[in-house]
Structure 1
Amino acid sequence: MDNITAHFVRLAAAINIPSRIHEPISTTIEGLAAILCCTPRNVKFILRKLEEQAFIAWLPGRGRGHTSQLTFLRSVEEVLEDSFQELINKGRIKDAIEFIGNIDVNGALKERLLTALNKQMGFRGEAESTSGLDVLRITRNRHMEKLDPALVYTAFESYLLGHICSTLVSYDAASRTFLPGLAHMWESNEEHTRYTFYLRKGVRFHHGRSMTSRDVKETLQRLTDLNSPALCHYRDIAAVELEGDHRIRFELHRPNLFFLHLFSCIHMSIVPFDVDFAQGAVGTGPYQLTDLNEDVLVLTAFDYYYGIRPLLDRVEIWYLPELGTNERQYQLPDVDQQNLPSNVCDNNSIDYPALGCRYLLFNFHNKGVHHHIAFRQVMRILYNQVALVRELGGNRITPADSLLPWNSSQRQWTESSFEQVKELLRVSGYEGESITIAFMAKKEEQEEAGWLQARGALVGLRIELHPLNEYNQETIQNNADLLIAEEVLEDDWQWGMINYFRNESNSLCFLLRDTQRAVLYRELEHFSQLPREERGELLNTAEGVLRDNYWVLHGCHINKRAQLNQSLFGLHAGSFGFLDISKLWIKTGLQKDNTTN
């Protein structure tokens, strides 16, 4: 906020408690100087400025020893709200976000400020050229994690990378087939031990150079150089041969029927060999990264994209930690609702039931009673899936017994009574110690943690809550017995499942012990050598190991809801339940039919 507003807030906090408007308050220049930490001369200057802005009225005392009269003409909330709105009107989004974070106000005012800010998000038309630019602004309530295809492990960052980078092929979930990407054709031998990809010509990276087969080879090598957590999936590759600038061959140690999935996933997004991706994200995707700092990430449409150029010219993603909801909102403040056809007037929410679920995971690196299966059975009874969905509702749509909703739907659901809990606790050796549950400090996770704590108290189980503002593996390992986690799978669910079991960066990997992971890995040893149906059965078997040993307690399947204005067109859901930004467009300037007879 500006200095004059800051001075007003400081004065009001010091001498206007409780808040009194239009009531003279006796004070002295010396007293105000102490509050404002400045000289009496500067106090008089500040008071004059406050009067000019009609914040106060000042009546100086007559003669030495006489007090002066200071009258507040406006409330602190009014002044703060006007200052915030002025920042918004000037397009100073960054300053507005910092304003919300820096002031100490009550919840009602903060909610109004967030609402005003949220109206600046969504589609904005900007007359920055003869045709104007279409800009989409979105808010996020957490900082970006690793924005690097070799190291990424979170859904939103993977989603963004999918707009910045491209892969050799893409998986189409509807047809269960692969479509051309950077490779226009591919082939394998009958044994599935050799794969050859034929690359498109003239594909440009964002820094201008044309892509060649060397970039593909070096992208794979980069996974090894960075010790990517996804590296285990590429162990079958024995050799890589460049057969010209636009053809590349992979020789494998053993047959691999899953190989194309590995080259359609985000980890094998092709990046240029002559650019350090960690210093600047450069790909061949529909959007290029033009700004990334602690406040905002900016994507700009890439005019030389080898596919169809995006219709949105720029996407800005602003970091706003105070944002109270995880629900994505796409507001269109520039669209005249009254002039829209009746079938597209209303706002609506579009639901994207996500593959995956929320679940409880035990930390087997921490000593404690949770190592006893009887205690884990107690937690299974307390964390009952049916009760969870019924009592908490929200975006929890169905009980989960698997990451895959169609597997969960086959389960016959029951609610176990608490009668057997006392005996299970006795068998486990529980002696009244606190059990710590870690969770991300977000609304739904907090609800579930509090709900579980209350249910534990009913049976004499002491549960201590440990909210996390940032996801930190070391903090979780050292401080928690359990973790409330969430896994959202890609549309290519078989890739998502095998990556969940094998990726070394996720919660499952770092909270299970080596011996437990070895059990899973033995089950999955021949996964890539099997045809599709048999791979699916093997994944179900591996998930059964987690479920039958109570290492993972599945909770509920989640709905990823987006609030959309129906003048937003080109709605295509991508992986992880996010909209495909590259296909969005807004039908603006819709006018009433003024045709005359």
Structure 2
Amino acid sequence: MQLVEQYVRLYTGCQDMTQGAPVDISLAEVAELLYCTHRNATLTLKKMQNQSWLRWKPGRGRGNRSVLTCLLDPSELVFTVAKELVQKGDVQASRQLISHYQLTWPQLEANYSRWMSSQFGLRVSREKGNEKRVDTLRFFVDHPFQSLDPIRVLLRSQTHLVKQLFDTLVRFDPATRTIVGQLAFYWESDEQGKEWTLYLRKGVLFHHGHQLTAEDVCYSLRRLMASPSRHRWLARSILSVQSVDEHIVRIALQTSNRLFLHALSKEYASIVPRDYVEEMGEDFAKWPVGTGPFKLSRNDESMVVLEAFQPYFAGRPYLDRVELWCVPEMREEEAEADQVKLLQSVTGAGMGPAANGRERRGFFRREQSFQYVSLNGSKPGPLQDPSFRSTVASILSGERLRADLKGPRQPACAWGEVVPFLPEQEAQLSLPAVTSSGYAGEKLLLYTYPDEDHKEDAHWIQKSCARCGIAVEIVYAEPEELAQPDLLQAADMIVDSANVDERLELSLQEFVCAEALSIRHHLDERGLKEVEKHLNSLLEANAPKDREKAMTHILACLQERRTFVPLYSNRIEIEAHPHLSGISLDAYGWVDFSRVFVRA
């Protein structure tokens, strides 16, 4: 980086300098331009010459001037070095270099963005030496991954990586809508569903080489139950966990829980190695080890790299490597490599882009998750009044928001067809109608994440409320901050996203129980007790119709109190190159890396 800066200073400081043209100059003048001694100027020129950036012919004898020939345009050199840094894996240093010179050469940023866009997709290469083929799937993300600990993840992107790095005891199969074995191959329970015995596969390896045992399972579940865990709601019914022998675990529950296996299939309940977690301490969050199909080989500010875990018990993944480059400045309209488009690209080993768009295969689905705004009925203030809360809920129409903001926003689709979603409302409210509900002009605090879609939603809410005379102040907070109970309770409104997948009952349980989400904190005391009563009925119910009834009661309670207003679900679309197979979108709109392969 310093050598690049010195070259730019030398090139731009020399009068009449043009690319490839020799210029007469003395060593003393070079040293003056580089702000260094004659000796250091000589060393610097030698380094640049070794890089083939310039030619330096020192003058011989008194009065003979030296000759300098700069072979590269300085903007081209910056661009070339930035690309070399990316190829070496230092994305952040590359970005810093471009940012440093983007005012000097405005076109540099656009050229760099176009080049970066071309780097994503599935890339086929050959390892040097043995010519082994390596299939690498490359994404870009807008933030580094500070935590990949299953009990601490908050975002769906983090959760998706956890699924690649870890396994749970059992797995929910969306195709059959049943629980199937994962680390446990068999299980049984008593008639009341209060005591469960699980039998573990033998010979399962963690990424650091140690074999999975019942002690690891007991440690993982107890860790989930501990108070610092953000997801301890999953283990709320567990009374005790003990190992019967090296491969048998017995779990006693406080009350009957017919959704217990569903809870064990949740990513937050992934099994971790006790020895490694205790050894790593806080560093485990950034350098996790699991039993999953991929193992983590790199995690820093530039990228996350996953590599296929060869001895994976369920079969080695087809891909060799997955890279997630951290490029926060890359705008979506410039990027040909977000998840919507990146699977169009397959390069290397003679496989170029598809000849035309018709050859690509399209995949799409509407996320089962949905964006919503919650209204804090437990905080002293205007929203504690049910009538004013109802008034605000009427203002926040998901239909109007989708019509105004457009994009991939679709009608909210949560909990499928089992439980119809809360009906959207339309209302034309005036300032007198709002003030008559008891509102006296207090400013409402609206918290959300600083992501672009959340910002758009928050500003729409702010403007919609302002038209009716309601003042809203937007406060942005990072996910870790917004998961803090004190902040959740202090907010009047929160724009957030609910995690909903094919495990409908469990998703609803998470929505109302998770302490990292706003609903539990925004329900008034009476509403919370009523939801708890119906939730217990949901967990104890054997028959699907009884569980459906309990879900209906929970949603009706939330609707009656106007605790939240659904806004939209996103439509996810991708187009895949004809050489790519094994592609499907999960409920969160992500592609399972372990199933993707190249047909060529």
User: TM-score, normalising length from structure 2?
Assistant: 0.80
Matched with 1:124 is 123
1:240–1:351 CA distance, 2 compared to 1 (3 A): same
Matched with 1:333 is 347
Matched, 1:501 2:532: no
Matched with 2:392 is 379
After superposition, where does 1:300-311 map in structure 2 within 5 Å? 300-311=307-318
1:427–1:322 CA distance, 2 compared to 1 (3 A): same
What amino acid does structure 2 have at the position aligned with 1:428?
Answer: G
The alpha-carbon deviation at position 302 of structure 1 amounts to 0.8
Matched length: 562
Counterpart secondary structure, 1:299: strand
Counterpart secondary structure, 2:274: coil
The CA distance in 2 between the partners of 1:169 and 1:382, in whole Å, is 43
Matched with 1:297 is 304
Counterpart secondary structure, 2:473: strand
The alpha-carbon deviation at position 482 of structure 1 amounts to 2.1
After superposition, where does 1:321-360 map in structure 2 within 5 Å? 321-325=328-332, 327-328=338-339, 329-330=342-343, 331-334=345-348, 345-346=359-360, 350-360=363-373
The CA distance in 1 between the partners of 2:7 and 2:391, in whole Å, is 57
Matched, 1:552 2:564: yes
What amino acid does structure 2 have at the position aligned with 1:379?
Answer: V
Matched, 1:418 2:429: yes
1:232–1:486 CA distance, 2 compared to 1 (3 A): closer
Counterpart secondary structure, 1:466: strand
1:186–1:44 CA distance, 2 compared to 1 (3 A): closer
What amino acid does structure 2 have at the position aligned with 1:460?
Answer: G
The CA distance in 1 between the partners of 2:184 and 2:255, in whole Å, is 23
The CA distance in 2 between the partners of 1:545 and 1:9, in whole Å, is 68
Matched with 2:452 is 443
Matched, 1:8 2:18: no
The CA distance in 2 between the partners of 1:234 and 1:201, in whole Å, is 25
The CA distance in 2 between the partners of 1:426 and 1:109, in whole Å, is 57
After the TM superposition, which of the residue ranges 570-579 and 195-204 deviates more from structure 2? Answer: 570-579
1:44–1:292 CA distance, 2 compared to 1 (3 A): closer
Matched with 2:599 is 587
After superposition, where does 1:312-323 map in structure 2 within 5 Å? 312-323=319-330
**Aligned 8 A contact 1:338 1:345 in 2:** no
Matched with 1:153 is 154
**Aligned 8 A contact 2:242 2:249 in 1:** yes
Matched with 2:265 is 264
Matched with 1:571 is 583
1:176–1:89 CA distance, 2 compared to 1 (3 A): closer
Counterpart secondary structure, 1:484: strand
Matched, 1:361 2:349: no
The CA distance in 2 between the partners of 1:314 and 1:568, in whole Å, is 15
The alpha-carbon deviation at position 38 of structure 1 amounts to 6.6
The CA distance in 2 between the partners of 1:543 and 1:9, in whole Å, is 66
Matched with 2:290 is 283
**Aligned 8 A contact 1:119 1:333 in 2:** no
The alpha-carbon deviation at position 190 of structure 1 amounts to 2.4
**Aligned 8 A contact 1:396 1:558 in 2:** yes
The alpha-carbon deviation at position 429 of structure 1 amounts to 2.2
**Aligned 8 A contact 1:202 1:210 in 2:** yes
Q: What's the RMSD between the two structures over aligned residues?
A: 4.2
The alpha-carbon deviation at position 157 of structure 1 amounts to 1.3
**Aligned 8 A contact 1:359 1:554 in 2:** yes
Counterpart secondary structure, 2:363: strand
**Aligned 8 A contact 2:124 2:346 in 1:** no
The CA distance in 1 between the partners of 2:388 and 2:327, in whole Å, is 40
**Structure 1 residues 182-214: Cα deviation after superposition (integer angstroms, max 9, x where no partner):** 111112222222222122121111121221222
Matched with 1:593 is none
After the TM superposition, which of the residue ranges 523-532 and 97-106 deviates more from structure 2? Answer: 97-106
Matched with 1:231 is 232
**Aligned 8 A contact 1:205 1:272 in 2:** yes
**Aligned 8 A contact 1:337 1:345 in 2:** no
After superposition, where does 1:4-83 map in structure 2 within 5 Å? 4-5=4-5, 8=8, 80-83=78-81
Matched with 2:493 is 482
**Aligned 8 A contact 1:145 1:157 in 2:** no
**Aligned 8 A contact 1:361 1:552 in 2:** yes
Matched with 1:183 is 184
**Aligned 8 A contact 1:356 1:405 in 2:** no
1:366–1:413 CA distance, 2 compared to 1 (3 A): closer
Counterpart secondary structure, 1:379: helix
Matched, 1:206 2:207: yes
**Structure 1 residues 217-270: Cα deviation after superposition (integer angstroms, max 9, x where no partner):** 222122234642332332433343433322222233332211211221112211
**Structure 1 residues 497-540: Cα deviation after superposition (integer angstroms, max 9, x where no partner):** 21221122223345556665444323323331112332233223
Q: Equivalent pairs: percent with the same residue?
A: 23
**Structure 1 residues 524-567: Cα deviation after superposition (integer angstroms, max 9, x where no partner):** 23331112332233223223322221221111122234454343
1:397–1:54 CA distance, 2 compared to 1 (3 A): farther
Gaps of 5+ in 2: 20-26, 56-69
**Aligned 8 A contact 2:527 2:557 in 1:** no
**Aligned 8 A contact 2:318 2:596 in 1:** yes
**Aligned 8 A contact 1:356 1:557 in 2:** yes
Matched with 1:463 is 472
After superposition, where does 1:420-435 map in structure 2 within 5 Å? 422-431=432-441, 433-435=442-444
Counterpart secondary structure, 1:209: coil
1:228–1:464 CA distance, 2 compared to 1 (3 A): closer
What amino acid does structure 2 have at the position aligned with 1:587?
Answer: R
1:115–1:267 CA distance, 2 compared to 1 (3 A): same
The CA distance in 2 between the partners of 1:543 and 1:30, in whole Å, is 80
The CA distance in 2 between the partners of 1:500 and 1:11, in whole Å, is 61
1:499–1:178 CA distance, 2 compared to 1 (3 A): same
1:108–1:258 CA distance, 2 compared to 1 (3 A): farther
Matched with 2:538 is 527
The CA distance in 2 between the partners of 1:223 and 1:397, in whole Å, is 35
The CA distance in 2 between the partners of 1:75 and 1:452, in whole Å, is 50
The CA distance in 1 between the partners of 2:348 and 2:263, in whole Å, is 42
Counterpart secondary structure, 1:453: helix
After superposition, where does 1:89-128 map in structure 2 within 5 Å? 92-100=90-98, 104-105=102-103, 109-128=108-127
**Aligned 8 A contact 2:7 2:74 in 1:** no
**Aligned 8 A contact 2:91 2:302 in 1:** no
The partner residue of 2:409 within 396, 402, 422 is: 396
Matched with 1:62 is none
1:213–1:457 CA distance, 2 compared to 1 (3 A): closer
**Aligned 8 A contact 2:6 2:34 in 1:** no
What amino acid does structure 1 have at the position aligned with 2:507?
Answer: G
The CA distance in 1 between the partners of 2:119 and 2:588, in whole Å, is 25
The CA distance in 1 between the partners of 2:72 and 2:356, in whole Å, is 43
After the TM superposition, which of the residue ranges 476-485 and 290-299 deviates more from structure 2? Answer: 476-485
The alpha-carbon deviation at position 427 of structure 1 amounts to 2.1
**Structure 1 residues 268-297: Cα deviation after superposition (integer angstroms, max 9, x where no partner):** 211222211753412111111122223222
The alpha-carbon deviation at position 119 of structure 1 amounts to 1.8
1:145–1:50 CA distance, 2 compared to 1 (3 A): closer
The alpha-carbon deviation at position 299 of structure 1 amounts to 1.2
